[in-house]
Structure 1
Amino acid sequence: MTSKKVTEAYITKNIITIIPARCGSKSIHRKNIIDFCGKPLIAWTIEHALKSRYVKGVYVTTESDEIENVSKRYGAEIIRRPTKLATDTSSSEEALLHVISEIEKYRQIDTIVFLQATSPLREEDDIDKALEKFFSEKADSLFSATMLEDFCLWEIINGKFKSVTFDYKNRGRRQDRKPYYLENGSIYIFNPDILRKYSNRLGGKIVFYPMPLWKSYEIDSIEDLKICEYFMKSRLLKKQRDNFLLKNIHLIVYDFDGVLTDNKVTLREDGFESVVVNRSDGLAIGMIKEMGIKQVILTKERNMVVETRAKKLGIPSLRGVDNKKEALIDFCKKNDISLECVVYIGNDLNDLEVMQSVGYPVCPLDAYDEVKSISKVILDVPGGEGVVRDFLKYIVTHICPK
């Protein structure tokens, strides 16, 4: 366990995170901003860094306008990288040295956390745990690694196989073999002087931060992308959802278009509009009512179809609302409900402000990236495909008795 004295030492340090992200990937087009589990790939790494208790600034170095815009949207600061440092032969160390020289023009840097966007399989506390180990062991540099306890590696020399990590003529017992450590590329920590002295991210006293093997996959190919998506969904996102407890939920608010519908409208020649809704949502809303949780539809849409659907469901609707946040605040005051006890399920940019004001922002799978970035739960289905039914699963699983 980290002592209070050592922890306070981290807080006083000028610790920054640098994330290099160039646009010239050959294996996957636009790799750093490709969709990965509902967000641009680089967004996950930016968010990991921003959630650190110790990091004071998060910087993305890139030569790409597109990567810059995405990174800014998720909260990173940008250091524009010269094109000569963004070629296929450019090293990460060259980019890191350039970033340091630019930042040190206006602020001191004590410690650097170097993260790679293509290694997104981290838990929220991995960066802080790595920093704690770095400082507690008084290291000059650190890399994250996986310990391989039974790894039989061969190489070919002059056309002949040669065992490298073991003696195939004298295999011995598996448990007697010495472990090896696989540098996984997820987290590097070092002092700026180490990088300057060695032109390398590692030097001086080197320590490692242990991570399980499944966190060691990097995205360099479409196959890697699929593997990482599997572990992100089955290990990390599932854990976050399992830890998300719905405590004292008194109200669930539904946007209409893109939540209760698939965001499409059928327009007839006579001007009559119709939408498609999901029957399973009606069943789910009825079950939520039985739990004693209030529900309301809140939408900018003025079409009578909203009121018709609300009456069918037996819940109130607020339609034709231009300022959703003000309307929700007024509704909650009239019903004596705290905003902290409100779930808002939205999908579009006009939901952002109101979602940020409630205790539990939730969104469907196909919501805008900005909406996903503030949501505590991203559902497994897109709008109109049973959003309420899918959310009911989380209520049943996680709601705490009053």
Structure 2
Amino acid sequence: MSTTVAIIPARGGSRGVPRKNVRRVGGVPLVARAVQAALAADGIDLVVVSTDDAEIAEVAAVAGARIVHRPADISGDTASSESAVLHAIGQLEAEGVEVGVVAFLQATSPFIPSAALADAVARVRAGEADSVFSAHETFGFVWRRDADGQASGINHDASHRPRRQDREPHYLETGAFYVFTAAGFRESRHRFFGRIAVAEVPEWSAIEIDDEHQLRIARSLAAMHEAPHPIAVRAVVTDFDGVHTDDTAIIDASGGERVRVSREDGMGVALLRHAGIPMLILSTEVNPVVRARAEKLRVPVLHGIDDKEQALRGWAAENGLDLDDIAYLGNDVNDLPAMRIVGWPIAVANAHPRVREAARVVLTRTGGSGAVRELVERVLSA
């Protein structure tokens, strides 16, 4: 029986957004998001990532993809996506895989709707279409400009402005996915051929990432549209100031500091400890208040730490923990190196914008006001 294969081309070079395919949206690398979307779509038997890059290959493999190593001659800026898809099909067939239908996904589209992808696959497999592409409905008036800067309508008569309900809708290609028969693709060497159909997707999901601004927009969209879900981890690591506290301090006449903490957080830590889930406080501060609070919570602490990433790696290794199984809760830019290496980078609600962008989850509560308790409850719910 022929196989339906999802193929995701993801080369290492990118000029607009360096290392684009491993940059995170919603805390998940773009290439991993594409793999996950394909794996969640009914009808897809195998997910393949075609890449020339070792880091992309590792991330994609962990996400569940088979890797096809792309040769240098089809890995440059001028190489077409079609060439990568054709190469991947050839490699699979050389291994004995009979490729019948191909779903070509682009990792630069972070919000690939798995249900719409599955429907497109079903239509091609049923023979209803030869090629199906993702698009959203639009009633927009499209214009062109000539060499002199003069504008003219493309899909409308500029002198006639009918109401939306009286206009014919058009469909704007999103670039997220294309599904087609392998045989037709080999013959045409193009993603569009034969009977072409549209797979409608939500307009908000249509963003493609080609620059840093679009990446920031995508991260905001992820926070808005991706529903909260349980955080399945084996350990929790947190910063101290701005996480357990509200990031303010009261200085007395002798120079001593006092901070504000939440009793809610204290109960949350007790519940986590009772569940047997390890926790660590990791702080750059050397103030005695950090250790005092950690002792009160009965949680180990590493403070006065300049390199949080290396300290976290060492603690994980000592405790036999995989970094992918750790949640790290932070609030400021010195937390970013540690957040980048864990499976669940988490930000408090009032975290620095760069921290919120890097987070897989942004909590609803702020530091010192129950953020730790919120994280604990989502960990325990898993």
Deviation at 1:351, TM superposition (A): 6.5
Aligned with residue 329 of structure 2, among 346, 364, 374: 364
Task: State the match for 1:298 in structure 2.
Answer: 278
Aligned with residue 74 of structure 2, among 69, 82, 85: 85
Q: Matched residues in 2 for 1:223 and 1:80: separation?
A: 30
TM-score (norm 2): 0.70
1:46 and 1:71 in contact (8 A); partners too: yes
Task: State the match for 2:362 in structure 1.
Answer: 380
Greater mean deviation of Cα atoms: 388-397 or 67-76 = 388-397
Give the paired residue count.
321
Aligned with residue 284 of structure 1, among 265, 268, 275: 265
2:26 and 2:361 in contact (8 A); partners too: no
Identify which of structures 1 and 2 has the higher relative contact order when contacts are C-alpha pairs closer than 8 Å and 6+ apart.
Answer: 2
Task: State the match for 2:296 in structure 1.
Answer: 312
Are 2:85 and 1:96 aligned?
A: yes
Deviation at 1:208, TM superposition (A): 1.2
Find the residue that maps to 1:25 and give its secondary structure. Answer: coil
Where do 1:114-153 residues align within 5 Å? 114-135=104-125, 138-149=128-139, 151-153=140-142
Task: State the match for 1:110 in structure 2.
Answer: 100
Find the residue that maps to 2:110 and give its secondary structure. Answer: coil
Find the residue that maps to 2:344 and give its secondary structure. Answer: helix
The one-letter code matched in structure 2 to 1:37 is G
Deviation at 1:193, TM superposition (A): 0.8
Q: What is the RMSD of the two structures over their aligned residues, measured on CA atoms?
A: 4.0
2:6 and 2:102 in contact (8 A); partners too: yes
- Gaps of at least 5 residues in structure 2 are 242-256, 282-288, 302-314, 331-337, 346-358
User: What per-residue deviation string (whole Å, max 9, x for no partner) do you get for residues 27-46 of structure 1?
Assistant: 12122122333232212112
Task: State the match for 1:37 in structure 2.
Answer: 26
The one-letter code matched in structure 2 to 1:148 is T
1:362 and 1:379 in contact (8 A); partners too: no
Q: Matched residues in 1 for 2:234 and 2:67: separation?
A: 36
Task: State the match for 2:50 in structure 1.
Answer: 61
Find the residue that maps to 1:87 and give its secondary structure. Answer: coil
Are 2:59 and 1:70 aligned?
A: yes
Are 2:223 and 1:233 aligned?
A: yes
Q: Matched residues in 2 for 1:84 and 1:287: separation?
A: 55
The one-letter code matched in structure 2 to 1:259 is T
Q: Matched residues in 1 for 2:320 and 2:343: separation?
A: 8
Q: Percent identity?
A: 28
CA distance 1:56–1:63, shift in 2 (3 Å): same
The one-letter code matched in structure 1 to 2:296 is K
Q: Matched residues in 1 for 2:75 and 2:184: separation?
A: 22
Q: Matched residues in 1 for 2:147 and 2:293: separation?
A: 75
The one-letter code matched in structure 1 to 2:343 is V
User: What per-residue deviation string (whole Å, max 9, x for no partner) do you get for residues 213-236 of structure 1?
Assistant: 111110011111111111112112
Q: Matched residues in 2 for 1:299 and 1:288: separation?
A: 8
Deviation at 1:395, TM superposition (A): 7.5
1:146 and 1:211 in contact (8 A); partners too: yes
Task: State the match for 2:35 in structure 1.
Answer: 46
Q: Matched residues in 1 for 2:272 and 2:342: separation?
A: 31
Find the residue that maps to 2:179 and give its secondary structure. Answer: strand
User: What per-residue deviation string (whole Å, max 9, x for no partner) do you get for residues 180-199 of structure 1?
Assistant: 11010011111111111111
Q: Matched residues in 1 for 2:30 and 2:259: separation?
A: 31
- Gaps of at least 5 residues in structure 1 are 1-11, 263-275, 320-346
Find the residue that maps to 2:45 and give its secondary structure. Answer: strand
TM-score (norm 1): 0.67
